[in-house]
Each structure stands twice: as structure tokens, then as C-alpha cells.
Structure 1
Amino acid sequence: MHRSASRLTRVLACAAVPVILTVAGCSSDSGKDTSSNGEKKSGSSSSAKPNPKSSKVLEKAAFATLPDPCKALATATIDTLVPEAKDKNGTATKSNDLATRASCSWNGLDEDGLKGSQYRWLSLSFFRYDSHATLGDANKRAEEQYNKEVETAKTEEGAQDPKTEAVAGIGDQASSVIYKVKKDVDSFNTSIVARTQNVVIRIDYNGAAYEGAGAPDHGKLLQDAINAAKETVTSVGAANKAPAEQSQSPQPQ
């Protein structure tokens, strides 16, 4: 009888072991989100969101439009620069987008009998830029075009000994490029390249003498071109004023 009791005790002890193991297994599963000190872990299944990259805010272009290039200079200015112009209204160059590219030119031969003739040619060109997410700020783009136009003026075909100088008092920056071109007669060429905010202006003014006429006054041609550039900068500003402001501003005659 004593043997039977001892054997029964061992059987019951072995039968209890799987129950204990099972409970322990359940306890370990429930502790996956718990730290060693019993505190619950947080944020284990989520990741922090990256901060959005800060993008540069481009400055809005100062000028949204261009003046009519054939009307940007007063009639009196055309009479001074191009006496006896064939068409005082000028000849506009075709453009697919007059809001960003526009130009106009005038030419005339002032005949003075036996004293010979004076020929003048004047061209006015506009380049306007907007701010662009890929291409950059409007003023920066205009500055790049300004530098390009100065270099182009210095390398015109036939240009002899071009001289470049900064010119004060015209927009935000301006340069003059002067040179001679030797063809059948001596031709004196002047280019004024200026930038006002996001608009680039180029004035080309050439003079030549024929049939024994005296050579053009180089200093006067340069000063006339500078005055024309200043007037054109004013026209750009006027073209971008509100209608109420325009009605109060003097218009070129």
C-alpha cells in the first residue's frame, strides 16, 4: 500500500509539468512589448516622419510686361538720333512673345547737297525674364542676359578695337561698347546695354558719313545713345504702372 501511494504521487507531479510550461510560454509572448523592468515599450512599430526640405522662395519679377519698343522713345528723340528717318514709327521685329522679347529699328539718310550725307541707324531691343523654379530668380536671369549682350556687342562682325565702359545712372547696371567698322566708309558704332530689375535693354546706334561729309561726332553719338537708354528705362517703369498711375505720368511725345 505504501508503494502504491508513492507511485501515485510521482505520476501526479509529472502530469503537472506541462501545465506549468504552457503558462510560462504564454507569459513570454505577452511580454514582447514590455521592457526588462516591466514598462511597456512605445513607438516600436512606427517610424519618425522626415522633415520636408525647405525650398527657396523665388522673388516675384518686378516688371510683368514690356512697352511697345516702337513707342518707347519719344518722337523728338527719334528726330534727334535719326534725322530724316524713313519711318518715324519704326520697324518692329517679329516676335512669338512680345511680353518677353521685342525690338524696333529706325534708319535714315540726311542729305546735305555738296556737303555730303549722314546716315544713322538705331535699334532698340528688350529682354524680359520671370522667376522660374528650375531656371532661377528673374533678376539673376536678366543679369546673365545682360552679360551676354555686352559680350555679343564686343564681338560683332567687323568690330575694330571695341572699348567697354560702365555707365552710371541707367537702371541697375549699364555698359557702353564702342567700336569702328571699316567697310566702304568709316562707321562708328555704339551699343548701350542696361538692366533694370528683370528687364534688359540694348540700344545700338550707328553713324556713317558719305560723299565727303565730315565723320560723325563720336562723343555726341555716345551721349545720344546714353540718353536714349535712360529714356527707355523710364518707359519700362511706366508700362508696368497701374492705370491710375499711368494717367498721372507724362507720356513721350
Structure 2
Amino acid sequence: MHRSASRLTRVLACAAVPVILTVAGCSSDSGKESGSDSGKKPSSASSSKPSGKPSAALEKAAFATLPDPCKAVQGGTIDTLVPEAKDKNGSATKSNDLASRASCSWNGLDEDGLKGSQYRWLSISYFRYDSHASLGSANKRAEEQYNKQVELSKASEGAQNVKAEAAGGIGDQGTSVVYSVKKEVDFFNTTIVARTQNVVVTLDYNGAAYEGAGAPDQAKLLQDAITAAKEAVASVDAANKQQQPEQPQSPQPAQ
């Protein structure tokens, strides 16, 4: 029997949607030398000794900015992944440093009368890293975060039948993690974690069926998630090309 939309709204409000929380840490180099001999002048012998080998210069971060996460994928892709999205423009997560981390999410309930309803939720998150003298190169820090994010995805609370495998063609590194979570109904989840140079992209996509509708096709959820992840990765390169200043043209010789 068909239930009212208001009843479905209450059910969805109680259904916990799995979200991967990522914490980016950083440290600063500070401190002062102290000691009883701090006021003594160095001897001529010690001052003439050469200092240690200079540390190798860290590579410059390939990407200096992030795209708008709510515009990282095409409108048509949102229509496909999240039919009847509440807000097709997405809901951005607040951040005090949009150049380093940003995310956006969409959700929607597609009702089909007596055939039931399909719920979909999509989230795209970006983390960008710079080279740091004590923390390492930008790419190395991003790779560490990439590996951490994959492990967090595989260890999601309540995850069952977890399957992780390489996802080729998405940035420099890509991994898909597929699993299900048993709530009031079965949620089928797909997470794509990708790294492009010094930026890590995490795309979470899940679906559930209500009111007797057929369960989401996990293979289609995965394929749709991969399509969206490729667009999200491509948006990083596009956003940084827009930031590059135009090269001045050489003056033309006088005729």
C-alpha cells in the first residue's frame, strides 16, 4: 500500500546516511633555543665550520586551488545520479579554507506511486596539500591522505560485504570501495577515492529503495559513481588552468 510523502520524509530523517569524515592535520615549526650557554659568542673555530648539507628543495604543488565542489560535475550527471534532487545546485559544507578543503552534497527521493520510491545521496569532497619542510612534498602528503581515506572507507561503521579494488583512469590513483549497510532498509554504498597530483577527491554515492521498490543495482551505482568521479577529478585541472595568468604577447615588429 502506498504511503504518504510525509511518512517517507519521516523515515528518511531517521535513516542514518553513512558519511566519511576526513580530518586533515597540520603542524607548524616553532620553538626557541635556550640554555645557559645561549649568550656566549661562538668561537672562531666553530663559526668557521661549514653547516650541514642544504636540504633539497621541495617540489612546488601542482595545483594551487580547488574547484567549486557544487559545480564539479555536470548538471546532467546530477540528474542521473540523484533524480528529483531537493537542490540541484547542491549543499556546500562550510570551510574556513576553501583553497585546501571543500565539499558538496545532493540527495533526493524519486517517488513512483505504487511502484515505491528510490532514494539517492551523493557527496564530493576535495583535500589539497602544499609542500611543507617538515611534512614532506605536496604529492607525498596527498598520497598519504589517499591511502588513509581508502582504509576509512573500508572500515565504515556497519559496512557489510566490503569489496575494494583499483579504479583505473581516475587521476594518478583510484580505488572503489563497495559495501552495504543494514538500516530500516538496505543502503548500497559506493565510495571512489582518487588522487590527482596534490589533490585527493572522495566521492560517496549510495542508494536505497522504499515502499516495495526494487533494490538499487549495485553495478549501476558503481558505474555512475566512476563517471561522476572522473568529472570531479577533471574539474581540478580545469579550475587551475583558469587561475593561470595569460602570457603577454610579444610586440609585433614595425612594418
**Structure 2 length-normalised TM:** 0.76
In structure 1, the partner of 2:232 is: 232
Deviates more, 1:141-150 or 1:156-165: 156-165
1:182 alignment partner in structure 2: 182
In the aligned structure 2, how far is the partner of 1:109 from the partner of 1:145? 33
Shift of residue 186, structure 1, vs aligned partner: 1.1
Partner of 2:81: 81
1:111 is matched with 111
Distance 1:146 1:244, change over 3 A: closer
State which structure, 1 or 2, has the greater radius of gyration over its C-alpha atoms: 1
The SS at the match of 1:119 is strand
Match of residue 221 from structure 1: 221
Q: Which runs of 5+ in 2 are unaligned?
A: 1-43, 247-255
SS at match of 2:150: helix
Distance 1:244 1:127, change over 3 A: closer
Q: Which amino acid is the alignment partner of residue 95 of structure 2? A: S
Confirm whether residue 92 of structure 1 aligns to residue 101 of structure 2.
no
Shift of 1:52: 4.2
- Cα deviations across residues 108-165 of structure 1 (Å, max 9, x unaligned)? 0000000000000000000000000111100000000001111111111111121110
Letter in 1 for 2:201: I
Tell me the CA shift for residue 245 of structure 1. Answer: 9.1
TM-fit CA distance, 1:80: 0.4
What's the counterpart of residue 168 of structure 2?
168
Look up the SS of the partner of 2:241 in the other structure: coil
**How far apart, in 1, do the equivalents of 2:51 and 2:70 lie?**
52
Classify 1:244/1:135 alpha carbon distance in 2 versus 1 (closer, same or farther; 3 Å). Answer: closer
Partner of 1:134 in structure 2? Answer: 134
* Deviations 1:202-249 (CA, angstroms, capped at 9, x unpaired): 000001000110110110100000011101111000000046899xxx
Structure with the higher fraction of residues in helix conformation: 1
Equivalent in the alignment of 1:64: 64
User: Equivalents in 1 of 2:130, 2:156: separation in Å?
Assistant: 28
Question: What's the % identity of the aligned pairs?
Answer: 76
Q: What letter is aligned with 1:69? A: P
Residue 159 of structure 1 aligns with an amino acid whose one-letter code is A
Structure 1 length as normaliser, TM-score?
Answer: 0.77
Structure-2 separation of matches of 1:181 and 1:68: 30
Aligned equivalent of 1:4: none
Q: Secondary structure at the match of 2:181?
A: strand
- Note the C-alpha offset of 1:54: 2.3
For the residues of structure 1 that align with 2:242 and 2:180, how far apart are their CA atoms?
Answer: 43
Q: What is the CA–CA distance in structure 2 between the aligned matches of 1:50 and 1:113, rounded to whole Å?
A: 81
The verdict on how the C-alpha distance between 1:88 and 1:49 changes in structure 2, with shifts beyond 3 A counting, is same
Q: How far apart in 2 are the matches of 1:145 and 1:178?
A: 19
Q: How many residues align?
A: 202
1:117-156 mapped onto 2 (5 Å cutoff): 117-156=117-156
Structure 1 letter corresponding to 2:209: A
Tell me the SS of whatever aligns to 2:237. Answer: helix
Per-residue deviation, 1:46: 6.6
